[in-house]
Structure 1
Amino acid sequence: MHQMSPDMQSCIDECLRCYQTCLSMASNHCLPAGGKHVEPEHFRLMLACAEICRTSAHFMLLGTAHHKHTCAECADVCEDCARSCEQVGDMQACVEQCRRCAESCRKMAA
């Protein structure tokens, strides 16, 4: 197993939390709420955010330097998702987790 920095372990944790939060909010909050919560652009963005977070965590766990690319994209998608969730409203847990993940991923992408 490769040696992992505390920052990288923290980023993996944030990515996995964001993956779980976005997926859970999409299926357990947005779907039942309907309306603007399930508008295609917003809903797809939430699912894309969950997936890029999972992928970024996976790349870091693999120990490949390519994690810098996935983390950079993850930070962008997380920011977009946070903005979208903020506009929809009633999704503060997702907004906050996406922003924490974006900040952590920006550090890993640098």
Structure 2
Amino acid sequence: MHHMNPEIKSCVDECLSCYAMCLSTAMGHCLEMGGEHAEKKHFTLMMACAEICRTSAHFMLIGSPHHKHTCGECAEICMQCADDCERLGDMQECAAACRRCAESCRSMAA
């Protein structure tokens, strides 16, 4: 792996952590809970969050200058996902991962 500054490495780690959290929580917890947790709007938001986190990490790992764009969008989607997870309740761990990722991505997008 090419040399990466610590701030980018930290953001990659937050993105990959959020990606794994959203994907596993959506597939496991939300589908198991059913109801509002499995409604299309929430489920789609979690899938979008997972995918933009994966994409942002990928852009940073390959050294693309376009990571600023993906990270900006990632921060926005992660905040929406965190808010929605908190609205539903019992998803604090997922909401926290989304907020950490959003904060890290916001600094990358600046």
Structure 1 equivalent of residue 109 of structure 2: 109
Q: What amino acid maps onto 1:47 in structure 2?
A: M
Structure 2 equivalent of residue 15 of structure 1: 15
Any stretches of 5+ residues in structure 2 without a counterpart? none
Query: Pairwise mapping of residues 1-110 of structure 1 onto structure 2 (< 5 A)?
Result: 2-110=2-110
CA shift digits 1:28-67 (9 cap, x unpaired)? 1000100010111110000000000000000000101000
- The alignment-based identity, stated in percent, is 66
SS in 2 for 1:90: coil
What TM-score does the superposition give when structure 1 sets the normalisation length?
0.98
In the aligned structure 1, how far is the partner of 2:13 from the partner of 2:71? 13
In the aligned structure 2, how far is the partner of 1:95 from the partner of 1:2? 31
Any stretches of 5+ residues in structure 1 without a counterpart? none
In the aligned structure 2, how far is the partner of 1:107 from the partner of 1:39? 32
Q: What amino acid maps onto 2:16 in structure 1?
A: L
Tell me which stretches of 4 or more aligned residues in structure 1 moved more than 2 Å: none
What is the Cα deviation at residue 4 of structure 1?
A: 1.0
What TM-score does the superposition give when structure 2 sets the normalisation length?
0.98
Give aligned pairs, total: 110
What is the Cα deviation at residue 3 of structure 1?
A: 2.7
